[in-house]
Structure 1
Amino acid sequence: MRLTDPEKYFNYFRMSPTIFNELLNIVGPLIEKQHVVRKPIPARTRLEVTLRWLASGDSMTSLSYAFRIAQCTLSQIIPETCQAIWISLQEKVMIDPTEENWNTIARDFEAICQFPNCIGAIDGKHVIIQAPPRSSSCYYNYKGNHSINLLAVSDAKNRFVIVDIGAEGRQSDGGVFENSGLPYILETNALHIPLPRRLNDTDLEFPYVLLGDEAFPLSTYMMRPYPRSGRLNISRKIFNYRLSRARRTVECAFGILVARWRIYRQPIIANTSTVVKAVQATIVLHNF
Structure 2
Amino acid sequence: MTLMRKLRTSATNDLNNYLRMDDMCFNELLSMVKPFISKKNTKMRKSITAEERLIVTLRYLATGRSLEGLKFSAVISPQALGRIIPDTCQCIYKALKKKYLKFPGTVEEWQKIARDYNSRWNFPNCGGAIDGKHIKIVKPVNSGSYYFNYKEYFSTVLMAIVDANYEFIYVNVGCNERISDGGVIETTKFSDKFLEKALKLPSNETTINKMNFFL
With the shorter chain as reference, the TM-score category is 0.7 to 0.9
Q: Match of 1:100, SS? A: helix
What's the offset of the Cα at 1:91? 1.4
> Among 47, 53, 73, which residue is 1:40 paired with?
47
Aligned to 1:184: 192
Residue of structure 2 in register with 1:127 after alignment: 135
The higher-RCO structure (CA 8 Å, 6+ apart) is 1
Contact 1:119 1:209 in 2 (8 A): yes
Is the contact made by 2:149 and 2:178 (CA closer than 8 Å) also made in structure 1? yes
**Which residue is equivalent to 1:19?**
25
Shift of 1:126: 1.5
Cα distance between partner residues in 2 of 1:200 and 1:123: 25
Where 2:17 maps in the other structure, the secondary structure is helix
Question: Counterparts in 2 of 1:1-288, with a 5 A limit?
Answer: 1-5=7-11, 7-37=13-43, 38-97=45-104, 98-197=106-205, 205-210=210-215
- Amino acid aligned to 1:29: P
Inter-partner Cα distance in structure 1 for 2:207 and 2:101? 29
RMSD: 1.9
Q: Secondary structure at the match of 1:115?
A: coil
Task: Determine the C-alpha separation between the residues in 2 that align with 1:121 and 1:56.
Answer: 25
Q: Is the 8 A contact 2:124 2:208 kept in 1?
A: no
Distance (Å, rounded) in 1 between the aligned partners of 2:108 and 2:176:
34
Structure 2's unaligned 5+ residue stretches are: 1-6
1:127: Cα distance to partner?
A: 1.2
Contact 1:127 1:149 in 2 (8 A): yes
Work out the CA distance in 2 between the residues paired with 1:184 and 1:134.
Answer: 29
How many equivalent residue pairs? Answer: 207
SS at match of 1:109: helix
Change (3 A) 1:192 1:175: same
Read off the aligned partner of 1:190 and give its amino acid letter. Answer: A
SS of equivalent to 1:73: helix
Query: What whole-Å deviation, never above 9, does each CA across 1:69-123 have from its counterpart, x for those lacking one?
Result: 1111111111111111112111111234232221111112222333321101222
Q: Which secondary structure state, in structure 2, belongs to the residue aligned with residue 2 of structure 1?
A: helix
Question: Under a length normalisation based on structure 2, what TM-score does the superposition of the two structures give?
Answer: 0.87
Equivalent in the alignment of 2:3: none
> C-alpha separation between the residues in 2 aligned to 1:175 and 1:68?
42
**1:8-59 CA distance string (max 9 Å, x none):** 1111111111111110000111110122333211100111111111222222
How big is the shift at 1:6? 5.5
Q: Distance in 2 between matches of 1:102 and 1:53?
A: 34
Give the TM-score normalised by the residue count of structure 1: 0.67
